[in-house]
A and B are shown apart, each in its own frame.
Chain A
Amino acid sequence: MRKIGLVAGVGAVLVWCLLPVVWIISLSFKSQAAVSGGTDPGFLPLDSFTGFANYADVLADDQFRRAIINSIGISLIATLLSVMIATLAAYAIARLEFKGKKLVLTTALAIAMFPVVSLVSPLFDLWRTIGLYDTWPGLILPYMSFTLPLAIWTLSAFFREIPWEMEQAAQVDGATSWQAFRKVIVPLAAPGVFTAAILTFFFAWNDFVFGITLTSTENARPIPAALSFFVGPDPFQRPAGLLAAAAVVATIPIVLIVLVFQRKIVAGLTSGAVKG
């Protein structure tokens, strides 16, 4: 009885979460005419099935390819930099005594509380003046500043969990502070590093507001913004099938990244370090 309830509950949640995704996938296999004409209203694409034609069209589109490259590039660079800076900052916060430690932590939190929208217009003006408008760095910078606080908080919690002796042992074994950090502390904090990386990547990949405001051409426009400009070959008809295909394609990298990173998040990695 309990088992049936569990299965039903899990099923309900799965349907609730995955239905939109499945729907998008189903749309992406329907022909343009069928979607806009409503000739094939069924869930499964039957007589309007076009195979991978939509995907081929999407990938053939130069604008979309640029957007994909922009998104991947910008998100990866932002994630990388953010995680690197956050790791160093969090280590300092967790391990060193310095003046203004509290200030750094509270400021970081305060930044995270700002609504994104309230910063967009000043940034727009600023970026235009200093020439960052419509460039990769123009997006990487705001992404980093919004993800750093969370990354720092997550990571400093992880660092605090690592026993001091690990580092001291490494130093006695002949490591410099940097070697001890890189060879012992960072590997032990890996779950934290990857958690921070996933969160940062999510934020950067899914951002729409910055993406649409701070860019004007395919020079730096990321996918979510590009999708809203996506018109396909016929400007008078919204290419729903193409859009659906584009959305699916845009989801693939993030699914891959999460799957890869998730393996690295192994809880309890530090077990066995000290007495048990």
Chain B
Amino acid sequence: MAAITLKNIVKKYGDGFAAVNDVSIDIADGEFVILVGPSGCGKSTLLRMIVGLEDITSGDMMIGDRKVNDLAPRDRNLAMVFQNYALYPHLSVYENIAFPLRLAGAPDQEVDEKVRNASKTLELDEHLERKPGNLSGGQRQRVAMGRAIVREADAFLFDEPLSNLDAKLRGQMRTEIARLQKRLGITTVYVTHDQTEAMTLGDRVAVLKRGYLQQLATPRELYENPGNLFVAGFIGSPPMNFLPAEVDGTTVTLPFGTVQIPEEKAERAQGKGVLMAGIRPEFFEDAQIADKVGSDSTFTADIDFVEWLGNETYAYIPFEAPPEVEAKMRELEADLEGEGLRTQLVVSLDGSSRIKEGDKAEIYVDATKMHLFDPATGENLTVDREHAGEIPDHALVTAG
């Protein structure tokens, strides 16, 4: 077991394309860290650099106290679970799990003991003699994990391990991985593009965009204090709403009307012209059923469309945005791999709300939790630095 330290890691390909740019992450011993981001953000490359399957262009990769930049994968003593499992089809489940031990030249008795232990943990006992080709997706996944836990590796690396499973199995395996990691207490780096996995599994989450680290923080910090527009838009489902906003004193003018924000937040956003306000869907409520309604924080809006999910209701409210804000939002959508079809507000209302399509409804908004972003740099002006983990400086300049 060991800590993993990434210091200014850069990966440049032969054609000059930089897949990973100056990423520094400290992973403590026993910590579960998630690398998350849209495809092409360099998260898998980063993982493969940790394990040694990709060369490091510059920077230091430390495992424990050892610099491992130039070590072959087999000398790094890490265990990895591949996205497509990469099981050895010519070997039985038993031999698949035993493979790392056999390579290390362990005596048969030790191999047997450890394999049986691992198979018991993963409930693979009755499948030990079968070939991977005859197993279901979930079973293959467990064999791949068995191969990882059977030896005393310094850390586990997972490369989107659940992306090939169906939704139900994915949920089960997610809990299983979390439980296993807590029990073994082993340092783990986990790559995913699924934010549910990122939020539920990780002690800390590193959000990446185009090879740049955007923010490294706990899931709660990421959600409540995103460092920039990209992180704010990436974390959360349905995503945070972005609206053009103008701040004057503590009054914020939104397309629907004005709301009041706390003084400390307002202070930091003075005199910056048109800003982008970020409000999560659940900060809205149907004024009819909200408990703390004040006239300064409600507005009336035309409801375009309603989705009732039982426990909650999503209502869609279209709005007009000035061109510079709209351009910024299109850019952000592209970064997030979404389709910026229209500028609209998604509000999450209580399931008991009776608002219907075409209604003119009164909506309450909790503006104290609103974030204000500089549309030019994407920087979150109202971020609470003490509860936002690490935000590299470049994330405030280059971020979209």
Contact = CB atoms under 8 A, between A and B. Distances in A.
A269 interface: yes
Interface in B120-138: 131-135, 137
A14 interface: no
Given A174-B100, A176-B74, A184 B84 contact: no
Given A272-B132, A272-B134, A173 B89 contact: no
Contact of B86 (A169, A183, A190, A276): A169
B73 A179 contact: no
Nearest to B77: A174
A174 B84 CA distance: 19
A230 B286 CA distance: 104
Nearest to B134: A272
Contacts of A174: 74, 100, 103-104, 151
Interface string B59-85: 000000000000011100011101111
B346 interface: no
Interface in A168-208: 168-176, 179, 183-184, 187-188, 190
B282 to A, nearest CB: 36
Contacts of A184: 88
Nearest to B99: A173
B321 to A, nearest CB: 42
A273 B131 CA distance: 10
Nearest to A190: B90
B53 interface: yes
Given A172-B78, A174-B104, A275 B89 contact: no
Nearest to A171: B73
Interface string A250-276: 000000000000000000011111111
Contact of B82 (A169, A187, A269): A169
B164 interface: yes
B134 A175 contact: no
A165 interface: yes
A165 B103 contact: no
Contacts of B79: 172-173
Interface string A100-137: 00000000000000000000000000000000000000
B395 to A, nearest CB: 31
Contacts of A179: 103
Contact of A273 (B51, B73, B87): B87
Contact of B88 (A166, A168, A190): A166
B116 interface: no
Given A173-B147, A174-B104, A272-B132, A168 B86 contact: yes
Most chain A beta-carbon contacts within 10 A, residue among B72, B85, B86, B103: B86
A276 B133 CA distance: 8
Contacts of B85: 273-275
Nearest to B135: A272
Interface in B137-161: 137, 140, 147, 151
Interface string A140-184: 000000000000000000000001011011111111100100011
A274 B86 contact: yes
B86 A166 contact: yes
B175 to A, nearest CB: 21
B115 to A, nearest CB: 14
Contacts of B99: 170, 173, 183
Contacts of B104: 174
A166 to B, nearest CB: 6
- Ranked nearest first, the 10 interchain pairs of A and B with the lowest CB-CB distance are A272-B133, A274-B84, A165-B86, A169-B86, A173-B100, A273-B89, A272-B132, A275-B164, A174-B103, A171-B73
Interface of A: 163, 165-166, 168-176, 179, 183-184, 187-188, 190, 269-276
Interface of B: 51-53, 72-74, 78-80, 82-90, 99-100, 103-104, 131-135, 137, 140, 147, 151, 164
Given A172-B73, A275-B140, 16 more contacts: A163-B86, A165-B84, A168-B82, A171-B53, A172-B79, A172-B80, A173-B79, A173-B100, A174-B104, A176-B72, A184-B88, A190-B90, A272-B87, A272-B132, A273-B132, A276-B133
